[in-house]
Structures are given as structure tokens and as C-alpha cells.
């Protein structure tokens, strides 16, 4: 293995994971440790901090209801995009490992699971591609949204779009051997290094994801953590 391959396929993933974890932790600790000298309340909100506020926040995360009441079109695309993103992230667990025990408990054969992954994962891949393109097109065409967008608002969706496109082509256009990829990641996890699959689309996809993971802690994608700190509370009645 030459030095460049070694750096990119063996060293870089550890660096990426390190930056990602430390970065996100730093941001969360930074927010948590800052004072709140005056109390902010926003109605409609919940009346109890622990029970009410958490369930309200959970509902907000699952349904995006604040956007729903204001902007129905935006809600449709944004909600579908985030939903399919969640499905895709969940599906990617199978890229690293498989759960034969779980499948047999559920009475599923390997074939069933692959078929399920193709239908659910595949449609999620397509829907996320479409909704992401719509969201990006929206930034370019609607004057007021264009006016409030800065460069990062275009670059981040563009990066996501590139990841989704390469991911979709891996799913639909490439005969990819999952075993090879699993062996590679197992090697990384156990520090016994295996050769990375030599598929150019996979390599591109993998590198773009790492780029995203490096940028993420310092970008507005951190909104997925930040929304847990919202103001939507009212004093208990």
C-alpha cells in the first residue's frame, strides 16, 4: 500500500471521525455552558419543562409543525427530505454490519431483507434526491429566499446533493459487493486494515461523506442539535 492510499483510506477516516465527534461535543458543551440571565418564553409552548417541553420538542422534530402552520409547500419538501434522510441513515447501518440474528427472529430471510432495503432504501434515495433538488431550486428561484441565502446555503445542499447522487448510483447502477465494504470497515474498527473496494463511485461517495462530516460541526447543519435548546416554554399553570 503506497503512502497516499494509506493516508486516504486508513488515516483519514479516523481523522474525520475525530473531528466530527469532538466538534459536535464542543458545540454542545459551548451552548450548554453559556448563561441565560433573562428568561425567554415563547407561546405556544408547553407548561412543564421536563414532560411537556420534551414531548413538544419531539413532536416538533417528528412533524415540523411550526413550518406546517406557515408554509405548506416548504413543509412538504422539507419534511419528506428529512424523513428520507433519517431512513437512509438508518439503512446505512447495514453497510457496516448485518444482523442475521434479528432477521431470523423477525422471520425474514436474507433475500427478504435485501428486497426491503431495495424498496424502502431505494425510494428514500429517489425521494431525497427530488426533495433536495426542489429545496435547492427554491433557493435559486423564489426572490425572498434567494435574498436571504448566502454561499453556505448553496454549498451545503450541493454537497448533500452530490452525496445523494453518488449514493443513488451505488444503489441502482453499480453491482456493489457489500461484503467487501463491510470487511473494510471491520478492518478499521479492529485496527487490522483491509483494502478499500476499488469502485470509483463508492470512493467518491465515501470521501464526500467525510467532507460533510468534517464541515458539519462548524456549519448550520448543527441545527439538528440546536433545536433541542428551543424557547418554547411557558410558566406552569
Partner 1 sequence: MKLDSTNPGQKYSLHATRKKDMETMGLPFPREWNRENFNLPPNWKEVALAKLDELRRKYRELQLFFDICVACGACADKCPFFIATKDPHNMPVARQELLRSVYRRYFTTAGRMFKGLAGGRELTEKLIHDWYIYFYQCSQCRRCAVFCPYGIDTAVFTMAAREVMTAIGLTPRSLTESIAKCEVVGNHMGMQPAAMLNSISFAEEEIKEETGIEVHVPINKKGAEILFIAPSADFFGEPHWLTFKGYLKLFHQIGLDYTMSTYASEGGNFGTWLNYEHMKKINRKIMKEAERLGVKWILGGECGHMWRVLHAYMGTMNVNPEFLEEPISPITGTRFKNASYSKAVHVCEFTADLIRHQKLRLDHSKNDQYVVTFSDSCNPARFMGLIEEPRYILQNVCKNFVEIDPSVNRERTICCTAGGGLLSDETLELRLRAIKPKVDAIRETGANFLALVCAIDKAVYPEYFKHYGLQTQVGGVHELVGNALVMT
Task: Select the residue interacting with partner 1 from 3, 4, 30, 175 (CB under 8 A).
Answer: 30
Q: Which is nearer to partner 1, 6 or 43 (CB)?
A: 43
Q: Which is nearer to partner 1, 152 or 189 (CB)?
A: 152
- The answer to whether 41 and 231 have CB atoms below 8 angstroms apart is yes
Q: Note whether 106 binds partner 1 by CB under 8 A.
A: no
Residue 80 CA to residue 76 CA, distance in Å, equals 6
User: Interface with partner 1 by CB under 8 A: which range of 18-26, 91-99, 111-119, 137-145?
Assistant: 137-145
User: Interface with partner 1 by CB under 8 A: which range of 85-93, 159-167, 175-183, 214-222?
Assistant: 214-222
User: Interface with partner 1 by CB under 8 A: which range of 159-167, 171-179, 203-211, 226-234?
Assistant: 226-234
Three-state DSSP state, 44: coil
DSSP string, 61-114: HHH-HHHHHH-HHHHHHHHHHHHHHHHHHHHTHHHH---HHHHHHTT--HHHHH
Any idea which residue has 419534511 for its cell? Answer: 79
Q: Going by C-beta distance under 8 Å and a sequence separation of 6 or more, which residues neighbour residue 27? A: 217, 222, 225
Binding site for partner 1 (CB under 8 A): 27, 30-31, 34-45, 60, 64, 66-67, 69-71, 74, 78, 142-145, 147-153, 218, 220-223, 226-227, 229-232, 234-237
Amino acid at each position: 500500500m503506497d503512502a497516499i492510499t494509506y493516508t486516504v483510506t486508513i488515516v483519514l477516516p479516523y481523522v474525520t471521525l475525530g473531528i466530527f465527534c469532538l466538534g459536535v461535543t464542543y458545540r454542545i458543551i459551548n451552548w450548554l455552558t453559556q448563561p441565560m440571565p433573562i428568561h425567554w418564553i415563547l407561546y405556544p409552548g408547553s407548561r412543564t419543562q421536563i414532560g411537556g417541553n420534551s414531548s413538544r420538542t419531539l413532536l416538533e422534530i417528528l412533524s415540523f409543525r411550526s413550518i406546517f402552520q406557515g408554509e405548506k409547500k416548504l413543509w412538504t419538501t422539507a419534511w419528506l427530505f428529512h424523513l428520507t434522510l433519517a431512513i437512509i441513515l438508518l439503512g446505512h447501518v447495514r453497510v457496516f454490519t448485518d444482523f442475521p440474528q434479528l432477521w431470523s427472529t423477525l422471520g425474514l430471510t436474507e433475500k427478504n431483507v435485501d428486497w426491503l432495503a431495495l424498496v424502502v432504501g431505494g425510494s428514500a434515495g429517489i425521494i431525497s434526491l427530488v426533495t433536495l433538488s426542489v429545496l435547492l431550486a427554491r433557493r435559486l428561484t423564489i426572490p425572498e429566499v434567494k435574498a436571504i441565502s448566502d454561499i453556505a446555503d448553496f454549498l451545503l445542499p450541493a454537497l448533500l446533493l452530490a452525496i445523494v447522487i453518488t449514493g443513488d448510483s451505488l444503489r441502482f447502477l453499480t453491482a456493489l459487493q457489500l461484503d467487501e465494504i463491510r470487511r473494510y470497515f471491520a478492518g478499521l474498527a479492529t485496527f487490522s486494515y483491509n483494502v478499500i473496494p476499488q469502485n470509483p463511485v463508492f470512493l467518491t461517495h465515501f470521501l464526500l461523506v467525510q467532507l460533510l462530516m468534517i464541515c458539519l460541526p462548524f456549519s448550520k447543519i448543527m441545527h439538528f442539535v440546536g433545536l433541542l435548546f428551543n424557547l418554547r416554554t411557558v410558566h406552569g399553570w
